[in-house]
Amino acid sequence: MRSVPLTLLLSAFLCATGCSDSGGEGETGGAGATSGTAGTTSGTGGAGTTSSVTSGTGGAPGVTSSVASGTGGATSAASGTGGAGGGTGGAGGEEARVPAASASTLREAGEKANPPILIGAAISGGGLNNNDYKRVAAAEHSYVTAENEMKWDALEPNAGQFSWGAADNIVNWAVSNRMQVKGHTLVWHNQLPGWASSLSGAAQVEQAMRRHIENVMGHFKDRVHTWDVVNEAVLTDSDTGVGNPRMRPSVFFNALGEGFLDLAFEIAKEQDPTAKLYYNDYSIDALNDKADFVYEMVKGMVERGVPIDGVGFQMHIGPPNNEAGGADVAANLKRFSDLGLEVLISEMDINRCSNQVTAEEQLAYYHDIVEACFQLPKCVGITFWGINDGRSWLNGWSGALCNGQSSQSLLFNDQYQKKETYNKVMDALLGR
């Protein structure tokens, strides 16, 4: 067994006296996900930018490779088979990102910015059965996260037996459209298959976690260069990130303590030393109890030399999660990036159900939050959690107050037409 630092043991002990299972996100709802179409193609890893924004240190090479079309950047390649771009990365300087003069798609606005910024979407296999969905998804985005198809229950339904088909369909479709992919997610308490949920004991859990990370990263090694290594390891009394922040009880935490995070990142690093490795969580978007706790947790990882490259801020705004104004988001992203990490808006949507967020507030949030990321060169991308309103996970999620109605939470309506939310996002990407 690897040794666990004293601070981790202490916080594990404190948590053991105060943690509970309540407050987590529910298990119901969500968009359908089956299979999609396949394809192949690739990009190559890019060279670093040489633009005026690289005055700082710490910018790794490889700025958004296959999607980058800004100055000094990376090459694009869209033929043959093999890997997608070289991973997100490399925003090195402290100076502001320079927007494109004009763009006809969000993707183009992201690619022409200097440094470029990834524009992503959660993609479902079911969505890829629809031609309009595919058209909008590929035209407007340069980055893909599989909504459900790369989770444990999808990839390893039986212990040691892997099922790649649905995930391969999404990843290959993305690569064939010169989009990068973020693997989501290697270690998470949710959407575990039954066999994994009933694991116990440090040896058993570590062995299963190691096998899963190694097999999954190994399978996608040429096509996926950024991973959510650990997702949602922290809990508060409210899903809005307020009250009693603590480590979340899970198969992994219960058996291994807080050290499961370090271990997961170390295994991932061994498996693919060049991959970008992320921690990802919800309701840590602005300044609240959970964001502070995650900040200290991640800071500790950085100080211990754990191979973490970035933090994903899910940015689910409105019920059941937090609300976050642009200025607070900017301050929060900045403090994490000051740890030397990339930051990323990883799952953005803004729920209008029950009018808890008004139409006007939704537009302001979309503009100001996208602007907050855009203005920070180390904020490498913005992923929206879906393409069109009708497919949003919020519509059927317990706690989202939608009761099966449309959450009106995204950038496109059910006819795949741009909404005013789309225009606000475009404005922010163009510096307006």
Nearest-approach distance from CB 347 to ligand G3I, in angstroms:
5
Minimum gap (Å) between residue 97 Cβ and ligand G3I: 26
Among 7, 18, 20, 32, binds ligand G3I (CB under 6 A): 32
Stretch of residues binding ligand G3I (CB under 6 A), selected from 22-30, 211-219, 251-259, 366-374: 22-30
Residues 186-245 that bind ligand G3I (CB under 6 A): 190-191, 231
Look-up of token digits 């299979």: 35
Query: Residue 202 — φ and ψ, nearest 5°?
Result: -60, -45
Task: Determine the interface stretch with ligand G3I among 16-24, 27-35, 135-143, 324-332 (rule: CB under 6 A).
Answer: 27-35
Identified binder of ligand G3I from the candidate list 148, 351, 383, 395, rule CB under 6 A = 148
Q: Which residues of 107-133 are buried (b: 16+ CB within 10 A; e: fewer)?
A: bbbbbbbbbbbbbbbbbbbbbbebeeb
Write down the least CB distance from residue 314 to ligand G3I, Å.
Answer: 5
- 30 near ligand G3I (CB under 6 A): yes
Task: Please tell me whether residue 282 binds ligand G3I under the rule CB under 6 A.
Answer: yes
Q: How many CB atoms lie within 10 A of CB 103?
A: 17
Contact between 165 and ligand G3I by CB under 6 A: the answer reads: no
Question: Which residue, 45 or 320, has its beta carbon nearer to ligand G3I?
Answer: 320
How many angstroms separate the CA atoms of 275 and 265, rounded? 11
Answer yes or no whether residue 349 interacts with ligand G3I by CB under 6 A.
Answer: no
**Which residues are designated catalytic?**
232, 347
Contact between 156 and ligand G3I per CB under 6 A: no
Supply the minimum distance, in Å, between the C-beta of residue 186 and ligand G3I. Answer: 12
- Does the protein bind ligand G3I through residue 257 (CB under 6 A)? no
Interface with ligand G3I, residue 27, by CB under 6 A: yes
Residue of 108, 147, 266, 342 that binds ligand G3I (CB under 6 A): 147
- Contacting range for ligand G3I; rule: CB under 6 A; set: 20-28, 130-138, 170-178, 367-375: 20-28
To which residue do tokens 């869209």 refer?
78
Within 8 A by CB and 6+ apart from 306, the residues are: 261, 262, 265, 266
Query: In Å, what is the CA distance from 160 to each residue of 213, 215, 216, 389?
Result: 11, 9, 11, 36
Q: Is the CB of 85 or the CB of 125 nearer to ligand G3I?
A: 125
- Taking CB under 6 A as the binding criterion, the range among 25-33, 75-83, 90-98, 410-418 that sits at the site for ligand G3I is 25-33
Q: Which is nearer to ligand G3I, 147 or 262 (CB)?
A: 147
Which is nearer to ligand G3I, 25 or 289 (by Cβ)? 25
> Strand 246-247 vs strand 234-235: parallel, antiparallel, or unpaired?
antiparallel
Q: How far is the CB of 339 from ligand G3I (least distance, A)?
A: 22
CA atoms of 29 and 42, how far apart (whole Å): 34
Work out how close the CB of 188 gets to ligand G3I at its nearest, in angstroms, rounded to a whole number.
7
* Residues 101-130 as x/- pattern, contact with ligand G3I by CB under 6 A: ------------------------------
Contacting positions for ligand G3I (CB under 6 A): 25, 27-33, 147-148, 190-191, 231, 282, 314, 347, 393
